[in-house]
Structure 1
Amino acid sequence: MKTKFKTIVVSDVHLGTKGSKAKEISRFLKQYECENLILNGDIIDGWQLKKSGSWKRKHTRFFNRIIKMIENQNTRVYYLRGNHDDFLDQILPLQIGKLSIQQDMIYESNGKKYFITHGDVFDSITTNLRWIAYIGDVGYTFLLWLNRVLNFYRFKRGLPYFSLSKYVKGKVKSAVSYIDQYEVELAKMARVKGCDGIICGHIHKAEKRMIDGIDYLNSGDWVETMSALAEDHEGNWQLIYYNEINFKSIEEHKIQPLNKEIPQIQYGPFKEVSFGKADDQDLENPSFRL
């Protein structure tokens, strides 16, 4: 049985980049059912696609998973615009069936109101000095490349994954100060909006804590952290990390072996007939298989 949530929030998938964990997030979404799926910005990385990024089948497969959730689970999907997918400005707002594309939203659940936004609108660097934001994006892309090289050798030596960008952020005082200020300003914005909490992304730092009486929730990213926010039907929020999911246990529960022995009855000789096993893929076309 799949775990059922009321709402799942993911952000910063950055489809179109080498660092995007498209296969992992598709596999993640396959394990759960939810009434609402909120894609909170930077799902498609338009900046990288304009420069050196490339669109691959695994990126398309992510959206096929979203379509299946709409069709099979009746999930409502909200795609909120981020700074890397700012090309959506040309079509906002847009409603197609159960898919809504918009700037931000106020989400009400179990007597509480949450202001949901990607978060870049509160980033003065991204908003007012766009060229500096692009330079920062190049630097982060370089760190991700260096991180892949570093972890390739760590993996060969049997060492665990190490996030170079997270280490750098933790050591640079200005970065730590910026993140703290970012979180405080978002909490203030939630209060101005008359909300009990704020749900965001943007800074690639998963978090769940109280700031001056406001619930601050950040879904993290699908480049390194691979995390998501999930709300149960009682209104409780939790952070789920892909690397902490026991997929083997989930698969074992899906296949329940029969305890009863089926009696073998001999009726006579029959021709042998073999049946091919159908694959459960996100696309009908076998060329899109994992």
Structure 2
Amino acid sequence: MLRAKPHLRYRTLFISDVHLGTRTSQAQALLEFLRTHDADTIYLVGDIIDFWRVRRGAHWPQSHNDVLQKLLKRVRKGARLCFIPGNHDEGIRHFAGMHFGGIEIHKQTVHETATGKRYVVMHGDELDIVVRTAKWLAILGDHGYEFALWLNNPLNWIRRHLGFGFWSLSAYLKNRVKHAVSFIGAYEDAVAAEARKLDADGVICGHIHHAADRHIADIHYLNCGDWVESCTAVVERFDGSFQLIRWSADVAIEPAHELAVSVSDAVPSQQISG
């Protein structure tokens, strides 16, 4: 029997690349994650709703609506919600600088940690040369990625019947194809350079569906990953340190969450964050 999942609270939560409106969005997994993880401030770091595919015919089950309702409920309860649109929901960038029902919209912003460090928060497509200069090629690549994700289902149906565990073809291709690996490295270097240019200590981004927590020279690079394959998020604890969480249905959290607090035991956020 699985133990009850703890309800944890953080100073800040960062989520990106949910791609609501698509069949490959792991909205139900995100909903379960949000039920057990809370934060004073939530950043939605782009590609939350996939308008590219919505235009071709939306897939919108109840779980997709529930995710939005859960986030709006957090706002009603006093959480700060910052939305930084990505390339798949880029139309919302026209509203940058505005507030809607307690939701802040920014093209990019700077997050200050509990210890005063500055992190640029951006989706990251601005530094993807394919998206910037050849959107048709980006859309073609998106179709290919979508097809690889679709192939995961029949392949894993066969693997289950043969007694094997889950295996992601799309993740394998992304991590093994030479050009994809070099693209990820170039992207990470470009994002780190942008943070350096803005005199920041680090950067928190999304876009490439490749979760990471590492240093690139003097810049702390954090990528939220996605809720299509990896189901990952970045959290800031109340002491200003960060953690990359990999969510699964069976394991609520990775170890070493001692600096998060139980919601029932948390003091008011303004007292914690100073």
TM-score with structure 1 setting the length: 0.82
State how far apart, in whole Å, the 2-side matches of 1:136 and 1:104 are.
25
SS at match of 1:243: coil
* Counterpart in the other structure of 2:147: 142
Instruction: Report the aligned-residue RMSD.
Output: 1.7
Structure 1 segment 4-153 matched on structure 2, within 5 A: 4-72=9-77, 74-109=78-113, 110-153=115-158
Report the AA paired with residue 43 of structure 1: I
* Counterpart in the other structure of 2:270: none
SS at match of 1:90: helix
State how far apart, in whole Å, the 2-side matches of 1:98 and 1:215 are.
29
* Larger RCO (CA under 8 A, 6+ residues apart): 2
State how far apart, in whole Å, the 2-side matches of 1:106 and 1:160 are.
40
227, 240, 245: which one pairs with 1:235?
240
Structure 1 segment 149-168 matched on structure 2, within 5 A: 149-168=154-173
State how far apart, in whole Å, the 2-side matches of 1:116 and 1:96 are.
20
SS at match of 2:92: helix
* 1:126-153 CA distance string (max 9 Å, x none): 0110110110011011101111211122
Residue 185 and residue 153 in structure 1: after superposition, are their counterparts in 2 closer, same or farther (change >3 A)? same
Give the stretch that moved more between structures: 17-26 or 148-157: 148-157
Runs (5+) with no aligned partner, structure 2? 1-5, 254-261, 263-274
* Counterpart in the other structure of 1:251: none
State how far apart, in whole Å, the 2-side matches of 1:176 and 1:194 are.
27
The yes-or-no answer on 1:218 pairing with 2:223 is yes
SS at match of 1:78: strand
Contact residue 46 and residue 85 of structure 2 kept, 8 A: yes
State how far apart, in whole Å, the 2-side matches of 1:247 and 1:182 are.
30
SS at match of 1:51: coil
Contact residue 214 and residue 221 of structure 2 kept, 8 A: yes
Compute the displacement of 1:247 (Å).
Answer: 4.6
* 1:173-231 CA distance string (max 9 Å, x none): 11111101110111111010110001000000000000011000001000000000011
SS at match of 1:17: coil
Aligned pairs, number: 248
Structure 1 segment 203-282 matched on structure 2, within 5 A: 203-243=208-248, 246-247=251-252
State how far apart, in whole Å, the 1-side matches of 2:184 and 2:46 are.
18
State how far apart, in whole Å, the 1-side matches of 2:65 and 2:249 are.
25
State how far apart, in whole Å, the 1-side matches of 2:57 and 2:43 are.
28
SS at match of 2:43: strand
State how far apart, in whole Å, the 2-side matches of 1:91 and 1:115 are.
19
State how far apart, in whole Å, the 2-side matches of 1:89 and 1:115 are.
17
State how far apart, in whole Å, the 2-side matches of 1:153 and 1:245 are.
22
Percentage of pairs with the same residue: 38
Residue 19 and residue 100 in structure 1: after superposition, are their counterparts in 2 closer, same or farther (change >3 A)? same
TM-score with structure 2 setting the length: 0.86
